[in-house]
């Protein structure tokens, strides 16, 4: 097997807080291949942002990487010095942050900000960097870019600012782009435009896309990792996660999304609230919210069971000894579609 572009192995990150140690990421392993878009899904506190910030070397001071390796083209990023990381950050791996309102410097013109990584990493001359900055703005769809180079962030709308942030991230032609909830703060119409933009990039750049919106995931991702309580609970190709989900948490997420169909009734809600990572209960952290929890869940965390060569899920339901359960109706429909899809019985037009 060829080497992955990014290979995170058994990452464990903890934070020292006044209240005690928080184990935010507990044994996360994942790979990112060249040219693919991987979506990291989960609610706040599930560890998705911490995982990505570890890759960027941007963890706060009270964070400790307890264990693990992050291999970027074979070399461990965690072993690199700050100087070496500065050369990689923004050049080979770059990041788009959630809030475009705060990610830009309000006192610097857009032209300067887009040109900054080029001046820094590529040692471009001022004029060459400016010319390149203009081309980048054109690429991300900022009209009349020559004139707008001299404008300040407040003169742009939210969607345009997110495009500018994207242009900065793309300036040096990074191999990996980490997008941390890039559309959560935007309106749906603007979100659709930013997603189009990111999809155009995928031939040249590998993308890690953090979000909690499964609709967005279905739109952009090739592969999906679902995180809960600092662990990956299910990972697989996008069609495996959406049409053949195995973990009850993934079921819950899918069921709580409003769908196109006409069934009015009540919206499914995952009961309870996110787990307390300060004093985690023994066993599976999702067990208290899980209507399919088995007795074993109270004592042991499930390992990742293999469903297919590309699909893994951490639920005891996949163990040979587990009783068979009745899958929720909406999930059963998804699975049936999956079977039809596998055997070529459907035209792959979606569930409707």
Partner 1 sequence: MTTNISDLLRVEGLTQTFKSGTGIVKAVDNISFSVYEGETFGLVGESGCGKSTTGRTIIQLYKPAAGSIFFDGVNLSGLRGKKNWLQFRRDVQMIYQDPYASLNPRNKIKDILGEGIDVHKLAKGAKNRNRQVAELLETVGLNPDHANRYPHELSGGQRQRVGIARALSVQPRLIICDEPISALDVSIQAQIVNLLKKLQQEKRLTLLFIAHDLSMVKYISDRIAVMYRGKIVELGDARKIYHSPLHPYTESLLSCIPYPDPDLEKNRRRIIYHHHEEASGSLHQIFPDHYVYCRPSDVAFYQQKGASKEAGGLDLVSITPTNTGILEGVVE
Cβ 184 to partner 1, closest distance in Å? 10
Binding test (CB under 8 A) with partner 1, winner from 131, 138, 213, 296: 213
Q: Does the CA dihedral 156-159-160-161 come out positive or negative?
A: positive
Alpha helices in 6-157 (DSSP H): 48-56, 82-88, 110-121, 126-139, 145-148
CB 294 within 8 A of CB 319: no
Binding test (CB under 8 A) with partner 1, winner from 192, 318, 322, 327: 192
Cβ 53 to partner 1, closest distance in Å? 19
Least Cα distance to 189 among 210, 162, 223 occurs for 162
Neighbours of 338 (CB within 10 A): 17
For partner 1, the closer of residues 94 and 244 by Cβ is 244
Binding test (CB under 8 A) with partner 1, winner from 34, 131, 202, 212: 212
Residue 196 interacts with partner 1 (CB under 8 A): yes or no? yes
Task: For residues 177 and 216, give the distance between their C-alpha atoms in angstroms, rounded to a whole number.
Answer: 17
Residue 281 interacts with partner 1 (CB under 8 A): yes or no? no
**Applying CB under 8 A, which part among 24-32, 47-55, 183-191, 320-328 lies near partner 1?**
183-191
> What residues contact 200, with CB distance under 8 A and at least 6 apart?
none
Residue 177 interacts with partner 1 (CB under 8 A): yes or no? no
Binding test (CB under 8 A) with partner 1, winner from 19, 79, 269, 326: 269
> What residues contact 241, with CB distance under 8 A and at least 6 apart?
224, 226, 234, 235, 250, 311
Alpha helices in 153-276 (DSSP H): 158-170, 188-201, 214-220, 238-243, 248-255
Four-point Cα dihedral 179, 47, 39, 54, nearest 10: 50
Q: Which of residues 63-122 bind partner 1 (CB under 8 A)?
A: none
For partner 1, the closer of residues 34 and 212 by Cβ is 212
Binding mask 40-59 for partner 1 (x = CB under 8 A): ---xx---------------
Total residues at interface with partner 1 (CB under 8 A): 48
Neighbours of 266 (CB within 10 A): 6
Residue 278 interacts with partner 1 (CB under 8 A): yes or no? no
Residue 345 interacts with partner 1 (CB under 8 A): yes or no? no
**Applying CB under 8 A, which part among 1-9, 21-29, 161-169, 344-352 lies near partner 1?**
344-352
> What residues contact 161, with CB distance under 8 A and at least 6 apart?
100, 101, 103, 104, 153
Cβ 316 to partner 1, closest distance in Å? 21
Indicate the burial class of 25 (C-beta count within 10 angstroms; 0-12, 13-18, 19 or more): buried
Binding test (CB under 8 A) with partner 1, winner from 1, 19, 79, 188: 188
Tokens read off for 217: 């995931």
Residue 19 interacts with partner 1 (CB under 8 A): yes or no? no
Binding test (CB under 8 A) with partner 1, winner from 101, 108, 267, 281: 267
Task: For residues 230 and 247, give the distance between their C-alpha atoms in angstroms, rounded to a whole number.
Answer: 15
Binding test (CB under 8 A) with partner 1, winner from 167, 198, 208, 253: 253
Residue 332 interacts with partner 1 (CB under 8 A): yes or no? no
Give contact residues for partner 1 (rule: CB under 8 A). 43-44, 158, 187-192, 195-196, 212-219, 221, 238-239, 242-243, 252-254, 256-260, 262, 264, 266-271, 273-274, 341, 348-352
């Amino acid at each position: 097997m060829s080497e992955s572009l990014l290979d995170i192995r058994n990452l464990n990150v903890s934070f020292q807080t006044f209240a005690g140690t928080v184990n935010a990421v507990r044994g996360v392993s994942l790979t990112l291949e060249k040219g693919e878009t991987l979506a990291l899904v989960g609610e706040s506190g599930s560890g998705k942002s911490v995982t990505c910030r570890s890759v960027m070397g941007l963890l706060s001071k009270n964070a400790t990487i307890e264990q693990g390796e992050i291999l970027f083209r074979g070399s461990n990023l965690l072993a690199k010095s700050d100087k070496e990381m500065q050369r990689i950050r923004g050049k080979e791996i770059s990041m788009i942050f959630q809030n475009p309102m705060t990610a830009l410097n309000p006192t610097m013109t857009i032209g300067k900000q887009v040109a900054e990584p080029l001046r820094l990493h590529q040692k471009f001359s001022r004029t060459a960097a400016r010319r390149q900055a203009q081309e980048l703005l054109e690429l991300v769809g900022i009209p009349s870019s020559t004139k707008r180079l001299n404008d300040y962030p407040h003169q742009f709308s939210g969607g345009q600012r997110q495009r500018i942030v994207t242009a900065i991230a793309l300036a040096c032609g990074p191999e990996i782009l980490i997008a941390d909830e890039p559309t959560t703060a935007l309106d749906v119409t603007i979100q659709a435009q930013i997603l189009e933009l990111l999809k155009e990039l995928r031939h040249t750049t590998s993308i890690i896309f953090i979000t909690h919106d499964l609709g967005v995931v279905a739109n952009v991702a090739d592969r999906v990792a679902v995180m809960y309580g600092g662990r990956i609970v299910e990972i697989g190709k996008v069609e495996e996660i959406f049409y053949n989900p195995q973990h009850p948490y993934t079921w819950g997420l899918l069921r709580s999304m409003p769908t196109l169909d006409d069934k009015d009734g009540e919206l499914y809600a995952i009961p309870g609230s996110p787990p307390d990572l300060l004093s985690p209960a023994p066993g599976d952290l999702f067990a208290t919210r899980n209507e399919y929890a088995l007795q074993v869940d109270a004592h042991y965390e499930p390992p990742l069971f293999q469903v297919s060569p590309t699909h893994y899920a951490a639920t005891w339901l996949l163990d040979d000894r587990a009783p068979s359960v009745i899958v929720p109706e909406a999930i059963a429909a998804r699975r049936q579609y999956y079977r039809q899809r596998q055997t070529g019985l459907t035209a792959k037009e979606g569930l409707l």
